[in-house]
Amino acid sequence: MHRPQLQSLSARLDALTDELKATIQLSNCLAQLSFLPGSLPPEGEGDVRTELSSDIHENLKRHEEDFELLKQEVVDYTGNTRSSQTRRESERSLEKSRLDIQVARLGEDLKQSV
């Protein structure tokens, strides 16, 4: 019963990691977007920077919110381990460690992106 929940949490963390990577790529595109010195951007292209910047900001805000929710779900899921170590509990402890590592990595990536 717990395996599907673990897989769901892990898949959602992976998806959020991929979304964050896509947002970072957008940020890199914005950083590389340039115009010749002294020239005005073509009609509508000035808005491209503004729109891209706004999209990046909105994405990062959504990623932070999603991350906080997922982090709490991982805590809720992994917080029910018992002190005696049966085989099933050992597996759950290992799963907890894996999820904690995923959450920590994603948190660091998100901090660096903001």
Q: pLDDT digit string (tens) for 19-77?
A: 999 999 999 988 887 766 656 566 655 567 888 899 999 999 999 999 999 999 988 88
User: Residue 76 has what pLDDT?
Assistant: 85
The beta-carbon contacts of 61-67 under 8 Å, at least 24 apart in sequence, are 63/16, 63/19, 63/20, 63/23, 63/110, 63/113, 64/110, 64/114, 66/16, 67/16, 67/106, 67/107, 67/110
Would you say residue 85 has pLDDT above 60?
no
Sign of the C-alpha dihedral computed for residues 84, 85, 87 and 92 taken in this order: positive
User: Residue 24 has what pLDDT?
Assistant: 94
Residue 73, both tokens: 């779900």
75/95 Cα distance (integer angstroms):
12
User: Residue 18 has what pLDDT?
Assistant: 95
Q: pTM above the 0.85 mark?
A: no
Residue 36, both tokens: 């010749």
Going by C-alpha positions, the residue among 22, 44, 23 that lies closest to residue 35 is 44
- The domain limits of the chain are 48-114
